[in-house]
Amino acid sequence: MGRLAEVAVAGVYQTKQGDLSDRTQPTVWWEAVRGACADAGVGVGDIDGLIGEGPAGAGLRDRMPAAGLAEQLGRPIRFHARSSVGAGSTAAGLNLAAYAISQGLAEVVVIANAVAGHGSGYASASRDEAVAAMAKLSGPYEYVYGPTRVSDYATIAMRHMYDYGTTPEQLAEIAVAQRLGATLHPLSVHGHRGELTVDDVLSSRLVADPLHLLDCCSINQGGAAIVVTSASSAAGIGRHAPVVLLGYGEGHSHIDPNALPKLTEFAAAKSAADTAFGMAGVGRDEIDVAGIGDHFTIGVLIGLEDAGFCARGEGGAFAEKGGTAIGGRLPTNTSGGFLSFSHAGLCGIFSLIEVVQQLRHEAGERQVAGARLGFVSAVGGAQQAYGAAILGRA
d(C-alpha 346, C-alpha 124), whole Å: 14
Cα dist from 182 to 34, 126, 179, 232, whole Å: 25, 24, 5, 33
Given the complex with another protein, which of 29 and 164 has the nearer CB atom? 164
Q: Least distance in Å: CB of 263 to another protein?
A: 6
Given the complex with another protein, which of 70 and 161 has the nearer CB atom? 161
CB 345 within 8 A of CB 29: no
Q: Least distance in Å: CB of 139 to another protein?
A: 8
Write the burial class of residue 73 (CB in 10 Å: 0-12 exposed, 13-18 middle, 19+ buried).
middle
Given the complex with another protein, which of 352 and 385 has the nearer CB atom? 385
**157: Cβ–Cβ under 8 A, 6 or more apart, which residues?**
166, 171, 210, 211, 296, 297, 298
Mark 310-349 with x for binding to another protein (rule: CB under 8 A) and - for no binding. ----------------------------------------
Q: Which of residues 35-94 bind another protein (CB under 8 A)?
A: none
Given the complex with another protein, which of 135 and 282 has the nearer CB atom? 135
Q: Which of residues 106-165 bind another protein (CB under 8 A)?
A: 128, 131-132, 134-136, 139-148, 150-151, 154-156, 158-159, 162
One residue of 101, 208, 287, 346 binding another protein per CB under 8 A: 208
Q: Which of residues 240-269 bind another protein (CB under 8 A)?
A: 256-259, 263
Q: Longest C-alpha distance within the chain, in Å?
A: 59
d(C-alpha 42, C-alpha 108), whole Å: 8
Given the complex with another protein, which of 146 and 186 has the nearer CB atom? 146
Binding status of residue 219 toward another protein by CB under 8 A: no
Write the burial class of residue 103 (CB in 10 Å: 0-12 exposed, 13-18 middle, 19+ buried).
exposed
β-pairing verdict for 206-208 and 211-212: antiparallel
**140: Cβ–Cβ under 8 A, 6 or more apart, which residues?**
none
Q: Least distance in Å: CB of 134 to another protein?
A: 8
Given the complex with another protein, which of 142 and 288 has the nearer CB atom? 142
Number of helical H runs and strand E runs in the chain: 15, 11
# chain residues binding another protein, by CB under 8 A: 36
Given the complex with another protein, which of 145 and 370 has the nearer CB atom? 145
Q: Least distance in Å: CB of 220 to another protein?
A: 17
Q: Least distance in Å: CB of 133 to another protein?
A: 9
Q: Which region holds residue 165: left if phi is over 0, alpha if psi is between -120 and 50, else beta?
A: left
Q: Least distance in Å: CB of 84 to another protein?
A: 19
Q: Least distance in Å: CB of 55 to another protein?
A: 30
Q: Least distance in Å: CB of 331 to another protein?
A: 30
Binding status of residue 225 toward another protein by CB under 8 A: no
Helix (H) or strand (E) holding 181: helix 168-183
Helix (H) or strand (E) holding 357: helix 348-359
State the sign of the Cα–Cα–Cα–Cα dihedral 290, 291, 296, 302: negative
What residues line the site for another protein (CB under 8 A)?
A: 128, 131-132, 134-136, 139-148, 150-151, 154-156, 158-159, 162, 205-211, 256-259, 263
